[in-house]
């Protein structure tokens, strides 16, 4: 089985540590590649390099944040970045795309669906702005399955899933 675990956020934190631990645990049974942003990910990449059996691929990925300039940049680069990820997923023929990091990780979900992989969306937060929730709800049908970091997260997102 060939699995891609994608995070659009490169800063080292809970989701990054989580996917590293899961990928390490699966290393002997499943071919796993972590997909992460090339920017702001040096501590995360150093952590991955400490596990020589883990494969990873970096992409220029713009993350969304709450300032207008960042939002405009994210929207402008959304299609080309998503298309690049899709091309990689298709070329590598991933069976599963595991989207980690939260409900705003849209690029991996869309790219995975376009590449005809099964998409699992890991949700880990319990608050997102209204616009993010609306887009998540629209794209929720692109996922084949969801996993939740907690019962509270599950209660928060279940009403939004189509």
Per-residue model confidence as pLDDT tens digits over 84-138:
999 999 999 999 999 998 899 999 999 999 999 999 999 998 899 999 999 999 9
Confidence of residue 40 (pLDDT cuts 50, 70, 90): confident
* 146 has pLDDT over 90: yes
Instruction: State mean pLDDT over 53-68.
Output: 90
Instruction: State mean pLDDT over 76-86.
Output: 98
What residues does 99 pair with on adjacent strands? Answer: 6, 121
Per-residue model confidence as pLDDT tens digits over 9-37:
988 988 899 999 999 898 889 999 999 99
* pLDDT reported for residue 101: 80
* 51 has pLDDT over 90: no
What residues does 4 pair with on adjacent strands? Answer: 33, 97
Distance set, CA 110 to CA 27, 28, 73, 84 (Å): 26, 28, 18, 11
């Amino acid at each position: 089985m060939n699995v891609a675990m994608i995070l659009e956020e490169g800063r080292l934190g809970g989701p990054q540590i989580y996917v590293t631990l899961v990928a390490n645990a699966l290393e002997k049974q499943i071919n796993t590649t972590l997909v992460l942003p090339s920017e702001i990910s040096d501590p995360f990449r150093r952590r991955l390099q400490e596990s020589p059996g883990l494969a990873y691929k970096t992409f220029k990925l713009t993350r969304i944040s709450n300032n207008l300039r960042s939002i405009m940049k994210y929207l402008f680069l959304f299609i080309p970045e998503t298309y690049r990820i899709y091309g990689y997923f298709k070329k590598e023929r991933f069976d599963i795309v595991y989207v980690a990091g939260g409900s705003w990780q849209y690029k991996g979900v869309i790219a995975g669906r376009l590449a005809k992989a099964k998409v699992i969306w890991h949700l880990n937060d319990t608050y997102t702005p209204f616009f993010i929730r609306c887009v998540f709800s629209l794209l929720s049908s692109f996922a084949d399955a969801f996993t939740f970091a907690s019962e509270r997260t599950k209660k928060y997102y279940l009403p939004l899933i189509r």
